[in-house]
């Protein structure tokens, strides 16, 4: 079943068009990768889908509802969350509190009970803490449950951001270069983690330059070039597409 539809999406910054009339859809439960050279518009596409930028024109539909331009908390409530190409972790907070920020995005705290620390609120906080610890364990961060974020290595912070994105219990998770800056062992572990998240029924939208990871996990691949759809299909289809080879994967391109 189709979960996300991007319809005639166009994004310009001033006179500079970054996305051109982009149309594609993403199936529920799939691992859908979006690849393309630097500057192709992948992050901009994520920023438009997740409401950070309004499109110049075009629409984004999630389960049939128009979500164009909706803010992050509204999308979290619908089940859409993301990670960022440039890590967005609060380094002045503990690791666990960073994950708890994710829960606060998905629930509307009632001010009065929180002020008086009513028993129900204390119970709820305890429950969230337990769930945050479970999520940290799920992404392989049990050893950092008591850590300050500032004391964690880069690879662990990338996982922490993933745990925070999972805290809203998303139906769709957008990952912008989750393997960037990771060593080969950490990237290998990421394959398994992404597949385990997908097995929980979460649709994954993956922007990534690490082609080994892309080939390993993707059900479907969309190739962008200069803000336009260059090709899409299964890994085998995309890999052998002459346009993709010329622009991205072949001799001139930097990916193989
Ligand atoms: N806020 C902005 N204002 C002006 N131009 C922007 C803005 N954001 C992105 N761009 C431009 O849009 C183009 C696409 O950038 P984008 O970051 O979406 O590419 P990308 O495919 O994610 O690249 P990379 O693989 O390097 O992350 C680039 O030319 C970039 O300079
Ligand atoms: Mg990018």
Between 252 and 249, the more confident residue is 249
Atom index in ligand 1 nearest the CA of residue 14 equals 4
For residue 147, pLDDT beyond 90: yes
Q: Mean pLDDT over residues 28-45, rounded?
A: 97
Contact 60, 4 (CB under 8 A): yes
The tokens of 11 are what?
């994004």
Contact 222 CB / ligand 1 (< 6 Å): no
Distance of CA 43 from the midpoint of ligand 1 (Å): 7
Contacts of 223 (CB under 8 A, 6+ apart): 34, 35, 36, 229, 230, 231, 232, 238, 241, 244, 247, 248
* Other beta carbons within 10 Å of 104: 15
Distance 36 CA to ligand 2 centre (A): 10
CA of 223 to the centre of ligand 2 (A): 13
Residue 125: alpha-carbon gap to chain centroid? 26
Q: Each residue of 187-203: pLDDT tens digit?
A: 999 999 999 999 999 99
Structure confidence at residue 144 as a pLDDT band (50, 70, 90): very high
Percent of the chain scoring above 90 in pLDDT: 81
Q: Is the pLDDT of residue 251 over 70?
A: no
Residue 113 pLDDT > 80, yes or no?
no
CB 42 near ligand 1, within 6 Å = yes
Residue nearest to atom 31 of ligand 1 (CA): 39
Q: Among the bound ligands, name the one nearest to the CA of residue 209.
A: 1
3-state secondary structure of 167: coil
Q: How large is the average pLDDT for residues 60-69?
A: 96
> If you average pLDDT over residues 119-127, what whole number do you get?
70
Q: Which domains does the chain have, with CATH numbers?
A: 1-79+170-256 (3.40.50.300), 89-169 (no CATH)
């Amino acid at each position: 079943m189709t979960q996300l539809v991007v319809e005639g999406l166009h994004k310009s910054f001033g006179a500079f068009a970054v996305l051109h009339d982009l149309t594609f859809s993403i199936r529920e439960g799939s691992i859908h990768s979006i690849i393309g050279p630097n500057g192709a518009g992948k992050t901009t596409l994520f920023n438009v889908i997740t409401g950070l930028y309004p499109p110049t024109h075009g629409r984004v539909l999630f389960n049939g509802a128009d979500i164009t331009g909706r803010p992050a908390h509204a999308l979290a409530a619908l089940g859409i969350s993301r990670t960022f190409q440039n890590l967005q972790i609060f380094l002045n907070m503990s690791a666990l509190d960073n994950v708890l920020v994710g829960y606060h995005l998905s629930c509307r705290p009632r001010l009065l009970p929180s002020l008086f620390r009513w028993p129900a609120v204390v119970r709820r906080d305890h429950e969230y803490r337990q769930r945050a610890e479970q999520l940290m364990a799920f992404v392989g961060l049990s050893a950092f449950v008591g850590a300050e974020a500032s004391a964690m290595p880069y690879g662990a912070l990338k996982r922490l951001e993933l745990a925070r994105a999972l805290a809203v219990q998303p139906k769709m998770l957008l990952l912008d270069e989750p393997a960037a800056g990771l060593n080969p062992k950490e990237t290998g572990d990421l394959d398994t983690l992404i597949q385990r998240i997908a097995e929980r029924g979460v649709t994954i939208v993956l922007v990534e330059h690490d082609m080994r990871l892309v080939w390993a996990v993707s059900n479907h691949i969309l190739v962008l070039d200069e803000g336009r759809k260059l090709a899409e299909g299964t890994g085998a289809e995309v890999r052998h597409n002459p346009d993709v080879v010329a622009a991205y994967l072949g001799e001139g391109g930097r990916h193989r």
